[in-house]
Amino acid sequence: MTEMSALHALTAELHGGFLTLAFICIAATAFCQIVVHFEESMPKFMVRWAVKSRGYLDAAGFVAAVAGVPALLLSAYTGSGAWPLDALVDNATIRNKIELTVFATVLWTGIAAIRWRFGRPLWTCPPMAALYTLLAFVAMGVTGTAGSLGAHLTKGQSFLDFIWNLIGIKVTEDLLLNTTLAFIIAIASLVVLIVVLLIARLSGISKEQLGQRKCTRWSKWDEPTIGDEEASKK
């Protein structure tokens, strides 16, 4: 049990590092895209930095998200062995942490899948880029809350407690879903996922080339590229 607890601490740091890096890079890429798009009203040094950095930030965010998902699953596995089975069922904080970990896994998987499917051209489509960035913010919030619960389990407190106190939420109690509601949400989520996949398959939308067929007809946002690619565009 002690060995599994130590391994869980290691894997938690691993997935936390990957996903934090993914969030920072995605948010920074979005910022760079805004700076480049509105370059005429931005300081020149900021525009130069954004142009040179955005392609690398996007790639790093994608790789970190892809690596973070299996690391999160591994962390969940080691965490399930860090406490006795009765503690997993009876402890409200642990159950909250399990629920948030499931949500975080789904969100980060979606983020990685969106970037994998559409590639860099998603940044040329403001609505898609906004959705991608918003999902990263939500996923990081859920991941951070789950991490806060882990700190409560091991240390009795978290450095995020000032936020929970400020907004009046008891993360060790208020987040808990009863078994029936959790089951309903899980089934509903699965049904929605299947329906969306079927619609995408039958309509052919999954074969659309986002950058070439849609947004470039009206959007003037360009794609974040790397090194020589970026230089050749200027």
Tell me how far apart the alpha carbons of residues 24 and 29 are, in angstroms, rounded to a whole number: 8
Name the domain count of the chain. 1
Residue 186 near residue 137, CB atoms below 8 Å: no
What is the value of pTM for the model shown?
Answer: 0.77
Domain hosting residue 170, numbered range: 2-233
**For residue 202, what pLDDT band results from cuts at 50, 70 and 90?**
low
Per residue in 42-73, pLDDT tens?
888 899 999 999 999 999 999 999 999 999 88
Does residue 158 come out as left (phi exceeding 0), alpha (psi in the -120 to 50 range) or beta? beta
Looking at the predicted structure, is the pLDDT value of residue 216 above 80?
A: no
Measured between alpha carbons, how far is 45 from 53 in angstroms, rounded to an integer?
12
pLDDT at 1 over 50: no
Q: Which whole-number Å values give the CA distances from 14 to 9, 19, 58, 101, 180, in the listed order?
A: 9, 9, 20, 14, 33
Q: What is the pLDDT of residues 138-165, one digit of tens each?
A: 999 888 888 777 776 666 666 666 666 6
8 A C-beta contact, residue 61 and residue 230: no
Smallest CA-to-CA distance from 143 within 102, 83, 111, 173 is with 102
pLDDT digits (tens, 9 = 90+) for 102-134: 888 888 998 998 898 888 888 988 888 888 999
Rounded Cα gap, residues 12 and 4, in angstroms: 12
